[in-house]
């Protein structure tokens, strides 16, 4: 492994440029780099370097529209290179920041060497992450909704569910799961996602000959007694009325408690209820970014970096933070909410302050720094199909006018005329044409995955085709078979053959013998399994020495003990 320290003058060693490194290419990072270009881009003693995981910036307010295909898949993103002409854009993930040596280390690309870049000023803006860790079954089965990949995944999942339901006309339980769509979180993003998802499935369901639109169930789960708690109660009530009228079921006072591959478990006033579903989206509050977590810098209780009004990190002259990852105080001392309108304004100010620090000729400037003083212009939430709610300068607006404002304002805020034109065209065409229904299957659907099961849930049933092999990581399951003449009867004419615990595998016999399952596996205690698809298992069994033999030994032992599955 080689360590490369890059950037001491990039060839032109006579000048060691002051280097400003930006981590993150979202509303905060990309706009900060753009503002820096305007102020410092022509100076040859300063260079700007931006790291971002993707080569584009996402216009998140319009992301929910990707679900319905109202706007094109790539219309909500702008390539960073179009936006930033004088910045070195490196599409790499920053893995760590060395505060002492003033360097950042980035993830390996095609070649596995460590890549380190020095900085004179560092702008930290990687946003936040959706972290389902510690929430039972959510890491395995819930979909987050934050970036373009999440929106594409959700759209594909919804279309797949409809396609499957159209085929599975003889399996009412499976149809219920496939035709129920659950969104958890009644804040702005949850409401916008459920509105788009509901409009989409109800519009396209007509194209499926075996789906009765009355079978569709779209559920919004929210822990409080009203949605959109950020807005005035009357706007929340208006949003509820519109969503209900369009067929969205509101489960207020319920909290997403756990998930399995076939259900969402909600805890509410009457205890835990299970909603059968194969499509669960959770817009739970974001968690601190792991990169921020790892830094020994002052933070708030919820893990945001503490900065002063100039956006400098307390006690450091060279570190700046903004956007969702930072707690930026306004003049009255309250922290800014994590919104795009705040992030873009913080970006302007951080660039201005860094330009002041660097002064005219690169030396320290004595000009006082500016402090952030933006209170927000208002809040808006789209409810789909010509309806929205808005609070602008304290005035409440709802219905068509709010929707018109929502579209006009966000269209004007999109970066670049090209995008604006594309989005405006997509919106116009959407009024005239049927919604797009192409299912994109990106990447391979294979690979080992974790799955979570709750007591009573079947992993597979006797007689089904063998499609996966499982390794039990935690919890317990029972192996049951339809009753023969023997004892040990579990009820419903079933016989318990064995109880499996952590470390044991199951499901291999049907795969090795290409035969149907000859027993049912049912969860006894909440359990997590590693589930390996048939194809991958076949490749491993064929190529890893001894693997097939060891599975065959397990099979032989189980057969000799009468434990079939
Ligand atoms: C669905 C949705 C709808 C929203 N609607 C609105 C709205 O209508 N109005 C509004 O004001 N706000 C809205 N928001 C909130 C708004 O999008 C955020 O406040 C804003 O995006 C924050 O900007 P940011 O740059 O801090 O973070 P982000 O926009 O999340 O950007 C972070 C960037 O950092 C990159 N990154 C992360 N980790 C690394 C790493 N280790 N190395 C390199 N790059 C990294 C990411 O790829 C990303 O490009 C919405 C958010 C969502 C999710």
Q: How far is the CA of 324 from the centre of ligand 1 (A)?
A: 7
Residue 291 clears pLDDT 70, i.e. is over it: yes
Distances (CA, A) of 298 to 285, 304, 305, 316: 21, 9, 6, 11
Position 529 scores a pLDDT of 96
pLDDT attached to residue 446: 67
- What counts of helices (H) and strands (E) characterise the chain? 15, 30
Mean pLDDT of the residues in the chain: 90
Closest CA to 386 of 70, 75, 167: 70
Residue-level pLDDT at 560: 79
Percentage of the chain surpassing pLDDT 90? 71
Tell the residue number behind the tokens 């509303």, with chain if given: 27
Closest CA to 78 of 21, 156, 26: 26
| Nearest C-alpha neighbor of 298 from the set 99, 29, 28 | 99
H or E, element range at 276: strand 271-276
In this structure, the strands spanning 56-58 and 46-52 are unpaired
First to last CA, the chain: 47
pTM: 0.88
Q: How far apart are alpha carbons 354 and 37 in whole angstroms?
A: 12
Total number of residues shown for the chain: 565
CB of 411 within 8 A of CB of 62? no
Residues in Cβ contact with 442 at an 8 Å cutoff, skipping those fewer than 6 apart: 152, 156
Q: What is the pLDDT of residues 151-187, one digit of tens each?
A: 999 999 999 999 999 999 999 999 999 999 999 999 9
CA-CA distance, 369 to 364, in Å (whole number)? Answer: 12
pLDDT, tens digit, 9 for 90 and up, residues 104-118: 999 988 877 779 999
The whole-angstrom separation of Cα 130 and Cα 140 is: 13
What are the pLDDT digits (tens) for 124-151?
Answer: 999 999 888 888 999 999 999 999 999 9
The whole-number pLDDT of residue 501 equals 95
pLDDT of residue 3: 44
Q: What pLDDT was estimated at residue 396?
A: 96
Report pLDDT for 123.
Answer: 98
H or E stretch at 378 = strand 378-382
Q: Where are the alpha helices (DSSP H) in 268-317?
A: 290-293
Which residue, 153, 140, 141, is CA-closest to 63?
153
Question: How far, in Å, from the CA of 77 to the mean position of ligand 1?
Answer: 12
Cα–Cα separations (whole angstroms), residue 559 to 258, 519, 565: 36, 12, 9
Q: What pLDDT is stored for residue 9 in this prediction?
A: 43
Give the tens place of pLDDT for each residue, 469-492.
999 999 999 999 987 655 445 556
Tell me which of 444 and 212 has the higher pLDDT: 212
Please say if the pLDDT value at position 367 is more than 80. no
DSSP 28-52: HHHHHHHHHHHHHTT-TTEEEEEEE
Question: What token pair was written down for 95?
Answer: 């893995």
Residue 362 has pLDDT above 80, yes or no: no
CA of 353 to the centre of ligand 1 (A): 22
The dihedral built from the CA positions of residue 501, 504, 506 and 509, taken in this order, carries a sign that is: negative
Query: Which atom of ligand 1 lies closest to the CA of 51?
Result: 43
Where are the extended beta strands (E) located within 59-198? 77-79, 88-91, 94-98, 103-106, 114-118, 121-124, 180-184
DSSP sequence for 3-27: EEEE-SSTT-TT---EEEEEE--SH
Decide if pLDDT at 510 tops 90: no
From 91, 124, 127, the mutation candidate for ligand 1 (largest count of ligand atoms within 8 A of CB) is 127
Residue in 324, 326, 377 to alter for ligand 1 test, most ligand atoms within 8 A of Cβ: 324
Ligand 1 pocket residues where CB is under 6 Å: 23-29, 51-54, 60-61, 63-64, 93-94, 125-127, 145-146, 188-189, 289, 291, 323-325, 338-341, 343
Cα separation, 47 vs 206, whole angstroms: 56
Whether the pLDDT of residue 558 is over 60: the answer is: yes
Query: What pLDDT is stored for residue 515 in this prediction?
Result: 85
Q: Closest Cα to residue 197, out of 93, 306, 280? A: 280
Minimal-distance CA residue to ligand 1 atom 52: 60
**279 Cβ neighbours under 8 A, 6+ residues apart:** 143, 154, 157, 158, 161, 180, 181, 182
CA of 26 to the centre of ligand 1 (A): 5
């Amino acid at each position: 492994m080689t360590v490369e320290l890059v950037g001491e003058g990039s060839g032109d060693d006579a000048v060691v440029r002051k280097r400003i490194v930006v981590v993150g290419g979202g509303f905060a990072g990309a706009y900060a780099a753009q503002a820096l270009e305007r102020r410092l881009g022509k100076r040859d003693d300063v260079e700007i370097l931006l790291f971002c995981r993707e080569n584009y910036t996402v216009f998140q307010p319009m992301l929910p529209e990707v679900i319905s295909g109202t706007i094109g898949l790539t219309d909500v993103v702008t390539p960073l290179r179009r936006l930033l002409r004088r910045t070195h854009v490196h599409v790499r993930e920053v893995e760590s920041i060395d505060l002492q040596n003033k360097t950042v280390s980035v993830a390996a690309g095609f070649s596995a060497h460590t890549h380190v870049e020095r900085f004179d000023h560092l702008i930290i803006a990687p946003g936040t992450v959706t972290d389902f860790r510690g929430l039972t079954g959510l890491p395995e089965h819930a979909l987050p909704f934050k970036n373009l990949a999440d929106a594409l995944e959700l759209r594909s999942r919804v279309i797949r569910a409809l396609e499957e339901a159209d085929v599975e006309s003889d399996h009412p339980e499976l149809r219920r799961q496939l035709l129920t769509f659950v969104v958890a979180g009644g804040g702005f993003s949850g409401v916008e996602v459920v509105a788009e998802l509901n409009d989409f499935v109800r519009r396209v369901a007509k194209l499926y000959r075996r789906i009765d639109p009355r079978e569709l169930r779209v559920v919004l789960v929210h822990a409080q007694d009203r949605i959109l708690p950020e807005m005035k109660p009357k706007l929340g009530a208006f949003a509820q009325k519109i969503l209900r009228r369009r067929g969205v079921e509101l489960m207020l006072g319920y909290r997403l408690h756990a998930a399995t591959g076939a259900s969402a478990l909600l805890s509410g006033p009457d205890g835990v209820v299970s909603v059968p579903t194969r499509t669960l989206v959770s817009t739970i509050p974001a968690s601190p970014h792991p990169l921020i977590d790892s830094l020994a810098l002052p933070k708030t209780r919820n893990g945001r970096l503490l900065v002063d009004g100039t956006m400098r990190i307390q006690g450091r002259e060279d570190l700046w933070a903004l956007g969702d990852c930072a707690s930026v105080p306004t003049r009255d001392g309250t922290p800014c909410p994590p919104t795009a309108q705040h992030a873009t304004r913080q970006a302007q100010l951080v660039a201005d302050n860094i330009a002041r620090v660097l002064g005219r000729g690169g030396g320290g400037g004595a000009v006082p720094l500016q402090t952030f003083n933006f209170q927000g212009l208002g809040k808006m939430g789209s409810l789909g199909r010509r309806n929205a709610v808005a609070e602008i300068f304290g005035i409440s607006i709802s219905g068509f006018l709010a929707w018109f404002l929502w579209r006009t304002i966000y269209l004007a805020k999109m970066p670049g005329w090209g995008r604006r034109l594309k989005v405006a065209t997509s919106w116009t065409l959407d009024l005239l044409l049927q919604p797009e229904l192409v299912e994109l299957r990106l990447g391979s659907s294979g690979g080992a995955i974790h799955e979570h099961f709750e007591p009573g849930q079947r992993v597979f049933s006797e007689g089904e085709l063998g499609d996966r092999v499982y390794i039990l990581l935690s919890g317990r399951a029972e192996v049951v078979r339809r009753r023969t003449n023997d004892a040990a009867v579990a009820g419903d004419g079933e016989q318990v053959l064995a109880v499996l615990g952590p470390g044991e595998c199951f499901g291999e016999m049907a795969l090795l013998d290409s035969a149907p399952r000859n027993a049912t596996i049912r969860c006894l205690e909440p359990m997590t399994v590693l589930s390996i698809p048939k194809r991958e298992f076949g490749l491993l069994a064929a190529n890893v020495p001894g693997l097939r033999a060891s599975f065959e030994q397990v099979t032989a032992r189980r057969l000799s003990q009468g434990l079939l599955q």
